[in-house]
């Protein structure tokens, strides 16, 4: 028997008083809330759509059916990265039939009122939520970033519950929306950081994701606040390696000013003492290739390259020869690309040999769209290093951004800093 209590407006939607679209959306939403054991629904302030990847006729039919019903989103809604670069898909050798359906899916979300942001980093866009806001964000790294760095509240939902939430403005009141479910359970004590590069937070996040299980990690011992880009890397890695939607960083996460606050006054259930050897082991494990073959491609931007990433790249390129020997592919959002162009950093990357794409992301790569000779691939993305070998059926080398650029110049994948 259901324990879900619906408000009068919820009931009105469920009975079709707001139209067919909200009726179907509320039917799906209330059923999922019941399965999740929610007692009621709550108001949300915004949605980030994750079901924007074309996975077959079913995914397209669902969204176009809502368009046919005349549905519209009730709260500000953004769209995650999609399956193709809408402006450049022909250059990427994407099959026309697939591109057409992927673009139809994106267009359908726009017809429902969602903004065509096409980015997996909504926290880098204007209008990010504030502490305490209940939201429905899809895309695993964004979910973890919203909970951990912004103090907003969202769960890890399955695809298409997000569009139902956007159409109704409601979400199940369960999981990380509830304060009692946001308390830490795993204490992660980190060593003093020395000679830290951008790979540090990826390795730390990936290690924690592997170890967390169903506990919320609490990181204690960081000597300084992670940068915007470091936080992105941490959140992407932890949510890739495990089913983690929230990480408390003591002194950084809004609701974790102290260790005691992060645990809600309780003792940790488990402990993880991180060592440098553990982090090095993670970095090594993210490289699935072996030896020193000729490098064919460097891929950057999973999650999407931010303005800070472009700046870091520009600073590295200041000491490099005018052109790389190896092609570089960068994925980013339209919003960030415009900023990077205004700063001149995008042009510097392109002059070096980078091809910049928007709308899509590295996780849409497959063997069909890769250059035929791209057998050896390198990345600074822990997320792509994790998923890439299965996506492209090729080994992937992982290292820091500096090592990726050095490797693009030398033509050999280098995973250790050059002397």
Q: Where are the domains of the chain?
A: 8-179, 183-284, 286-410
Q: Which residues in the chain show pLDDT less than 50?
A: 418-419
CATH number of 286-410: 3.30.499.10
Comparing 8-179 with 286-410, is the CATH topology the same?
A: yes
Give Cα 329 to chain centroid, integer Å: 18
DSSP 122: G
pLDDT value of position 364? 83
Tokens read off for 72:
């519209």
Q: Give CATH superfamily name and number for 8-179.
A: Aconitase, domain 3 (3.30.499.10)
Instruction: For residue 13, give both structure tokens.
Output: 């939607």
Give residue 419's pLDDT: 38
The residue assigned the tokens 């179907």 is 24
Model-level pTM greater than 0.75? yes
Residue 302 near residue 361, CB atoms below 8 Å: yes
Residues in the chain: 419
Q: Would you give the DSSP letter of residue 412? A: S
**Per-residue confidence (pLDDT) for residue 418, from 0 to 100:** 43
**Could you tell me which of 92, 138, 101 has the C-alpha nearest to residue 360?**
92
> Positive or negative, the Cα torsion across 12, 16, 22, 23?
positive
């Amino acid at each position: 028997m259901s324990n879900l209590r619906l408000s009068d407006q919820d009931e009105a939607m469920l009975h079709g008083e707001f139209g067919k679209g909200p009726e179907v959306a509320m039917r799906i939403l209330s059923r999922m809330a019941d399965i999740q054991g929610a007692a009621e629904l709550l108001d949300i302030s915004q949605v980030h759509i994750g079901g924007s990847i074309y996975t077959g006729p079913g995914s397209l039919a669902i969204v176009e059916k809502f368009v046919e019903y005349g549905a519209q989103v009730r709260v500000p809604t953004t769209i995650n990265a999609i399956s193709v670069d809408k402006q450049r898909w022909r250059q990427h050798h994407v099959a026309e039939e697939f591109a057409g359906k992927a673009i139809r899916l994106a267009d359908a979300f726009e017809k429902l009122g969602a903004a065509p942001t096409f980015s997996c980093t909504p926290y880098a866009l204007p209008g990010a939520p504030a502490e305490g806001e209940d939201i429905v964000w899809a895309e695993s790294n964004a979910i973890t970033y919203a909970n951990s760095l912004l103090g907003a509240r969202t769960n890890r939902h399955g695809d298409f519950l997000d569009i139902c939430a956007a159409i109704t403005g409601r979400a199940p009141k369960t999981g990380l929306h509830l304060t009692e479910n946001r308390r830490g359970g795993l204490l992660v004590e980190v060593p003093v950081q020395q000679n830290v590069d951008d790979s540090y937070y990826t390795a730390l996040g990936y290690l924690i994701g592997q170890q967390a299980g169903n506990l919320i990690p609490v990181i204690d011992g960081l000597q300084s606040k992670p940068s915007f880009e470091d936080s992105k890397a941490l959140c992407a890695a932890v949510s890739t390696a495990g089913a983690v939607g929230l990480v408390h960083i003591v002194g950084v996460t809004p609701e974790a000013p102290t260790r005691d606050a992060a645990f809600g006054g309780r003792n940790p259930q488990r402990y993880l003492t991180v060592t440098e050897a553990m982090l090095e082991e993670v970095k090594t494990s993210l490289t699935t290739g072996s030896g020193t073959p000729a490098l064919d491609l460097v891929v950057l931007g999973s999650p999407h390259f931010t303005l800070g990433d472009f700046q870091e790249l520009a600073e590295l390129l200041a000491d490099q020869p005018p052109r790389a020997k190896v092609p570089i592919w960068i994925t980013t959002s339209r919003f960030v690309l415009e900023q990077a162009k205004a700063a001149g950093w995008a042009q510097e990357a392109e002059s070096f040999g980078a091809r910049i794409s928007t709308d899509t992301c590295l996780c849409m790569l497959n063997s069909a769209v890769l250059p035929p000779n791209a057998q050896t691939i390198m990345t600074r993305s822990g997320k792509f290093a994790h998923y890439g070998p299965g996506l492209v059926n090729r080994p992937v080398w992982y290292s820091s951004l500096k090592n990726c650029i050095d490797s693009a110049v030398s033509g050999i994948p280098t995973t250790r800093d050059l002397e």
